[in-house]
Each structure stands twice: as C-alpha cells, then as structure tokens.
Amino acid sequence: MGAPALAVPADGDLIARYLGGEEEAATELVRRHTAALARYLAAQGVPDGELEDLTQETFFKAFRALGSYRGGAAFRTWLLAIGGNVVKDRRRRWKRERVLALTPDLEDPSGDPAQHAEARWAADRLEEGIAHLARLQREVFLMRAQQGLEYGEIAAGLGISEGAARVHYHHAVKRLKAWIG
C-alpha cells in the first residue's frame, strides 16, 4: 500500500493557518496565485519591468489586509481586485514620470513575417483597447475573459452587483470590438 494522498487545503484554510502564525500557509497562497495575478496585471498594461514589483506589492497589501477578508469572494478574486487598485495607484505615479526604453523589443525571427505582423497588430490594438476601457470595465473584462471568473465572483471581489458586472463586461466587449474594428 502506498501512502495516502494528502488533501489539498482550501484557500480559506490556508488563510486561517496564516492568521494563526503559520508562515508556510502564506507561501502556498503566493505559489497558487502568483501566475494568475501576474497575467492579470500584465493585461492591465503593467510593463514587464514593473510586473514583479507590482505582483509583490499586491501580495504585501493583501496579507496586510487579510484580517479583513470575509470570504464573500474567492481569495483569488479578492486578490485581483487589490491588484487592480495597486495598478490604479501606480498609474498615477507613471503619469508623473517619463520613462525612456533603452532596448528595442526583439521579435521572434521564425515564422511568416506577414502573419507575425498581423498578429502583433491585433494584439497591440487589443492592448490599446483594454487600456482605454473605463477602470471597472477593464477589471471585469480581464477577470472574466482572462481569468475565467464567474460574474458572481467578480461582483463580490469588486463590491458591485452581479448585474453590474454583466453590464460592465458587455460594454467592455462592445467597446473592444469597435476599437479593433
């Protein structure tokens, strides 16, 4: 007989263990949610050079506020909402700073250049369109389209109604279709 399979603790259990002083529980929460948070922040327009810092800042703020987490939304949804606020705060700073890129973007030399150009154009247009969405539309769109969250989870995480989440998503999709044209 092999060893029994260990049950994977739920996020809520890990949160309770962390609040009880178990640091390893925080490590597991970070491990579970880092990739999704980084994808979400990148889609919000965070430059690659800032992505790690903002991911860490989001986790830092989340763990400082963990005592106020009530479980009305999934931990990931709550974390993404905090990440959206961190990006909003950082955007204010970016507006005051001017950054000059010192290295050009290098494209993958393999494949069909026309196909790469068309794909790059579409990706750039989508990224621009997402950046031009209103904050709630952008956050709802990314939580739904990128993270695959249900409207109820999104609503709970952002403190809005489920109907409002649906409306924001609908308007975001409509605006993005018009933007990409």
Residues 59-79 have pLDDT tens digits of: 999 999 998 888 878 999 999
User: So where are the chain's domains?
Assistant: 9-98, 115-181
Q: What does the pLDDT average to over 99-123?
A: 64
At residue 166, what are phi and psi to the nearest 5 degrees? -65, -45
Give me the pLDDT at residue 101, please: 46
Check residue 128 and give its pLDDT: 87
Residue matched to tokens 């986790």: 59
Q: Which of 99-103, 121-125, 165-169 has the lowest mean pLDDT?
A: 99-103
Q: What is the Cα–Cα distance from 44 to 152, expressed in whole angstroms?
A: 21
CA atoms of 30 and 25, how far apart (whole Å): 9
CA 167 vs CA 137, 170, 171, 172: distances in Å: 9, 5, 6, 8
Distance of CA 126 to the CA centre of its chain: 16
Task: Determine the Cα–Cα distance for residues 135 and 129; give it in Å rounded to an integer.
Answer: 12
Is a pLDDT exceeding 50 seen at residue 100?
no
pLDDT, the chain, mean? 84
Which residues lie closer than 8 Å to 168 by C-beta, 6 or more apart?
134, 136, 137, 140, 141, 160
| Residue 181 banded pLDDT, cuts 50, 70, 90 | confident
Q: Which fold has domain 9-98?
A: Rna Polymerase Sigma Factor; Chain: A (1.10.1740)
DSSP state for residue 21 in the 8-state scheme? T
CATH number belonging to domain 115-181? 1.10.10.10
The pTM for the full model equals 0.61
Q: What are 16-53's pLDDT values in tens digits?
A: 999 999 989 999 999 999 999 999 999 988 888 889 99
